[in-house]
């Protein structure tokens, strides 16, 4: 009879006892409080949804970047999901937490180990050798639910790690969209400066002709040249900023900074309407809020672990195998040996350690309750901030459109008056600068509206739909 068959024979004698022990553990109570979400004050609707460019109903798609209807943005988003290093690091943290949960689940099962040994001993009567081949068993009976609370805490920590991954993912996608829009904004600025420079150079040529004809003072010529130089310097700075923004976007895509180059394309992406939904849905759709609640649920389970330590622990310790003075007949059936020992450990005096540990667990829970409520309030504020930004920036864009029309006509009339000798060149410079500044402000307002839209989508959870903590227990 080989070792495996003998081991199987011995294991049958333990199965009934183990089944009874496991069944008793799983059916027993788990001390400590069961998790319950803290009471929260949730507004019925968002205050700013009526006046902002937002849809009150509907859900944000998981691929939320498709709302902008921009194929290049869609490609950048999918590339970032595949190669962004922060996302990969967050996924590795999820894998670590998942394995920690599996390790915690292993505590529910008996630990078996094979411990062969050879012992040589001697006395006045002579020397002897003994051989042992035992299979050791150690098993803790989860009478008070300590192991279940430990597993619950590990599982909630794993889910918090998954929520953190989603938060990193949403943050990265928002950063990609904002970086892309900023590059296109710089393209718009470059286009405006190039158009302005073309006009300024024509005005410089005209002023130079008038100066040579004695129809304009040298100061007009110097002012025209200064305006050209100033616009040129601003254009160089915008190009520098654009290059740096390309480098930043490359890093988000997991690429070396010099590996991507975007062809110029002035910002023209329309502002989409974003489905906002109800505030009550935000608690399960914001990954950072969900992460905070999973951390809270884990802390709640740790109170149960600390409470179970006050109660006696019960276990089973056993061994089955062979003992012999000869290696040749070690596995003979006659040399079999086994033992099964129930054990109990009752804490009587621990110097206040158990009381302190439970008090610490409760204080930790209260800290995370405050953190969770703060996370919820911050989430509502983020949504309201983005909604108010969208409303006010929309009003600003409308005002700038009318202002640009006035500034353009002002510039045209001032140039005519200068050509007729009715005004100074300083007035022409002022009119030109007024027009350029308002056109730059309009481009900035459009970028701000796009960024506010991205932040609103992120504030609403970016199309992620989590599962309530109670459904994970």
- Per-residue pLDDT tens over the stretch 270-298: 999 898 888 888 888 999 999 999 999 99
Q: What are the two backbone dihedrals, phi and then psi, of residue 432, each rounded to the nearest 5 degrees?
A: -65, -45
pLDDT > 90: percent of the chain: 65
Identify whether 1 is part of a domain.
Answer: no
Higher pLDDT, 324 or 164: 164
Share of the chain residues as helix, strand and coil, in percent rounded to the nearest 5: 65, 10, 25
Q: Is the pLDDT of residue 399 over 80?
A: yes
Identify whether 81 is part of a domain.
Answer: yes
Give the per-residue pLDDT at 54: 64
Identify whether 318 is part of a domain.
Answer: no
Identify whether 453 is part of a domain.
Answer: yes
**Domain containing residue 66:** 32-110+141-312+353-472
Identify whether 373 is part of a domain.
Answer: yes
Position 324 confidence tier, pLDDT thresholds 50, 70, 90:
confident
Q: State the Cα–Cα distance between residues 176 and 76, nearest whole angstrom.
A: 7
Q: Is the pLDDT of residue 199 over 60?
A: yes
CA-based max dimension of the chain: 134
Number of domains the chain is built from: 1
Identify whether 293 is part of a domain.
Answer: yes
Q: Is the pLDDT of residue 156 over 50?
A: yes
Q: What is the mean pLDDT of the chain?
A: 89
The pTM score is: 0.85
Give the per-residue pLDDT at 421: 86
Give the per-residue pLDDT at 361: 95
Give the per-residue pLDDT at 353: 93
* Rg of the chain over all Cα atoms, to the nearest angstrom: 37
What CATH number is attached to the domain comprising 215?
Answer: 1.20.1600.10
Tell me the pLDDT tens digit for each residue of 440-469.
Answer: 999 999 999 999 999 999 999 999 987 666
Identify whether 180 is part of a domain.
Answer: yes
* Beta partners for residue 317, in sequence order: 138, 341
User: Which long-range contacts does 290-293 make (Cβ < 8 Å, 24+ apart)?
Assistant: 290/159, 290/163, 290/466, 290/469, 291/160, 291/163, 291/164, 291/167, 292/368, 292/371, 292/372, 292/375, 293/37, 293/372, 293/469
**In contact, 240 and 186? CB cutoff 8 Å:** no
Query: Number of H helices and number of E strands within the chain?
Result: 9, 7
Tell me the pLDDT tens digit for each residue of 4-52.
Answer: 444 444 445 445 444 444 454 444 578 999 999 999 988 888 887 766 5
């Amino acid at each position: 009879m080989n070792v495996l068959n003998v081991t199987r024979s011995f294991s049958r004698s333990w199965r009934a006892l183990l089944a009874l022990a496991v069944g008793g553990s799983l059916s027993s109570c788990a001390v400590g409080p069961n998790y319950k979400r803290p009471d929260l004050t949730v507004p019925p609707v968002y205050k700013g949804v009526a006046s902002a460019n937002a849809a009150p109903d509907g859900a944000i798609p998981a691929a939320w970047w498709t709302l902008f209807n921009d194929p290049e943005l869609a490609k950048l988003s999918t590339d970032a999901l595949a190669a962004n290093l922060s996302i990969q690091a967050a996924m590795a943290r999820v894998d670590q937490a998942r394995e920690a949960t599996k390790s915690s689940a292993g505590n529910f099962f008996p630990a078996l180990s094979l411990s062969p040994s050879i012992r040589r001993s001697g006395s006045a009567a002579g020397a002897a050798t003994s051989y042992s081949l035992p299979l050791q068993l150690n098993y803790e009976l989860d009478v008070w639910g300590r192991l279940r609370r430990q597993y619950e805490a590990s599982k909630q920590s794993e889910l918090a790690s998954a929520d953190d991954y989603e938060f990193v993912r949403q943050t990265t996608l928002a950063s990609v969209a904002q970086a892309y829009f900023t590059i296109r904004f710089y393209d718009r600025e470059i286009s405006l400066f190039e158009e302005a420079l073309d006009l300024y150079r024509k005005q410089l040529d005209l002023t130079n002709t008038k100066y040579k004809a004695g129809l304009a003072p040298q100061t007009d010529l110097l002012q025209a040249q200064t305006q050209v130089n100033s616009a040129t310097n601003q254009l160089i700075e915008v190009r520098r900023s654009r290059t740096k923004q390309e480098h930043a976007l490359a890093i988000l895509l997991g690429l070396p900074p010099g590996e991507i180059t975007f062809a110029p394309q002035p910002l023209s992406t329309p502002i989409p309407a974003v489905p906002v939904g109800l505030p009550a849905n935000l608690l399960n759709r914001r990954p950072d809020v969900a992460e905070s609640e999973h951390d809270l649920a884990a802390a709640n389970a740790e109170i149960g672990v600390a409470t179970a330590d006050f109660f006696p622990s019960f276990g089973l310790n056993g061994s089955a195998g062979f003992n012999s003075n000869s290696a040749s007949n070690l596995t003979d059936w006659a040399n079999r040996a086994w033992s099964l020992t129930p054990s109990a450990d009752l804490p009587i005096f621990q110097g206040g350690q158990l009381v302190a540990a439970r008090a610490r667990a409760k204080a930790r829970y209260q800290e995370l309750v405050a953190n969770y409520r703060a996370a919820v309030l911050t989430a509502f504020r983020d949504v309201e901030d983005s909604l108010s930004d969208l409303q006010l920036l929309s009003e600003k864009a409308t005002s700038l459109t009318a202002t640009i029309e006035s500034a353009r006509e002002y510039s045209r009339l001032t140039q005519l008056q200068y050509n007729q000798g009715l005004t100074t060149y300083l007035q022409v410079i002022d009119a030109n600068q007024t027009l350029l500044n308002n056109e730059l402000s309009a481009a900035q307002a459009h970028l701000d509206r796009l960024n506010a839209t991205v932040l609103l989508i992120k504030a609403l959870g970016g199309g992620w739909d989590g599962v309530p903590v109670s459904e994970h227990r």
